[in-house]
Structure 1
Amino acid sequence: MSRISVRGFAVASATAVTTVGAVVGVASGNPQQPSNDFEATAGEATLLADIPAGQQAQVQTASLTQQADAQAIAADTAAKKSAEETARKKAAEDAVAKQKAAEKAEKEAKERAEAEKVASRSATRDASSFSPQSSYSISQIQAMARSMVPADQFQCFSNIVNHESTWNYRAVNPSSGAYGLFQALPASKMSSAGSDWQTNPATQIKWGLSYMDGRYGSPCGAWSFWQANNWY
């Protein structure tokens, strides 16, 4: 706007000179046809003439203020946009960090569970660690099972034995000949765990645990199958 104001003064001056020249020409009997440039500059001079000379500085100041306001608004908009972009990036980085932390925690939890499982299995006793007896009570058989079966699998193991034989290691199915704690059929396959399978519940427990682990992955896997099918 300052450029226009300065140019306005120049145009006004040029217009004044041109106008005087035109008047002199008419007076001397040599009129001149005004050119298009003359008409345009005269129009601009007329517009500037509408603004009193004392107010032209105010107009120029107002124009500079508007420019400053526009620049301030543009700068504020750019700053907000930059802040929003920074916030989006920070949120994305936080989300990634949280996901990594969750994955790490999950991995560590699985490792701890596996370590506990291994420790539990390593703490179990083998069938051979029990001295043979002529007979066994249910509580003695259950105590054997607790010391041989991993703690996190015992309840599932117990559920199956309860349903199959109610912890009677000499139980026999009269129709099929299934025998023992797990009603093995044929009963003789328990010999893979020991030759005393008929009289030693520890040998039967050893066989039953091996069978559940081999076929269903664990006693709880076997129990899930039993619940769905009433056999395993």
Structure 2
Amino acid sequence: MTKLACRAFAVLLLLAGVAIGVHLGLTENGTTPAHKTHELAADDLRDDNQQQEAARDWHARYAQTAASQDAGQKADSLADIATDQAKALDHSYAKAKEDAKKKKESGGGSVDVGPIPDSCKEYGGNRAVGCARMLDAGFGLDQMPCLDKLWNKESGWNVHASNGSGAYGIPQALPGDKMASAGDDWQDNPSTQSKWGLQYISGRYSNPCGAWQHSEDTGWY
């Protein structure tokens, strides 16, 4: 090898050594090579994606939980409203039923049944009317228990009670139009029906207890 070639080779070795030294010095001093920089950037990007995914999952779970709680609260509220409405309807139905019963017993509530004495006010509806007409007919209050049982058995004190034989009203007059002799409103007025029934009882059995006893013995009066 010539001297010139040796010198050229020595220069190349020197330059190579300098390059290696610079590279090592940069690495040791904290400077990251380009390929390492790309790897770190990719790692950071993955970390960001994972954090964003975790955040989305948390928000989704939170929204689902809140929606479930809200739906449960609304369902409870609707159930409470439905229960209150059902109770109100039950109350209204019971009141309407009771009013209809009273109206039916009193013949519609549009008839004049006459005065009811205090001694008869322990009874209600048509029974009180029957008690008053019984006293008007001259019977004592001690006869009311018998009259009450008799007409409760015959008609339930219903002014519109009827059966297949043609009997009608509280005293079950047969036929019903017999009671027209006591008043033109015989079809609906408990007072008129009671008046006729007591006249019938007086003429046939002397008093309500006599009529009740006959009904007990025979099944009719």
- TM-score grouping bracket, smaller chain normalisation: 0.3 to 0.5
**Structure-1-length-normalised TM-score:** 0.40
What TM-score do you get using the length of structure 2 for normalisation? 0.42
Higher relative contact order (CA 8 A, sep 6+): 2
